[in-house]
Amino acid sequence: MKNGNTFYSKILKDNLIGHFFTQVVKLHFEKHLPTMIDFWETVLFGKAIYKGNPILKHIDLHRIEALKPEHFKRWIAVWKETVNELFKGENAKQAIAKAKQMGKLMEIKIEHSAKKGFIL
């Protein structure tokens, strides 16, 4: 849990993207941190503990306030910085690569969500 706190503590304070968590959706951080950690454990380690659809949540968020490429770039930059501070080796590299893939997938799905006939 500590490592999740390290990353999301940085995100919450970030000048470019922190407001998505604190103002746009007013996320109750302590309540949702375990869910976000479950999501990343599922993505990174193949543990099927997360139940939900983060892409739909981000599409909904985008409809409130646009998520732009620079927001995804910042998120990845903070992720990479934090992973490199806390971990080393192949698993750290894979965590960064998978986060980049997830970010790109979300960007594509968000972009296509406004188009007629969009299917998730």
pLDDT classification of 1: cutoffs 50, 70, 90: very low
Dihedral of alpha carbons 87, 71, 16, 2, sign: negative
Residue 108: CA count within 13 A, CB half-sphere: 8
3 pLDDT band, cuts 50/70/90, is low
In this predicted model, which residue has the larger pLDDT, 47 or 103?
Answer: 103
Domains and CATH numbers, the chain: 2-113 (1.10.490.10)
Answer left, alpha or beta for residue 68, where phi above 0 means left and psi between -120 and 50 means alpha.
beta
pLDDT of 115 reads 85
Q: What pTM value is reported for the model?
A: 0.89
In tens, the pLDDT along 90-111 reads: 999 999 999 999 999 999 999 9
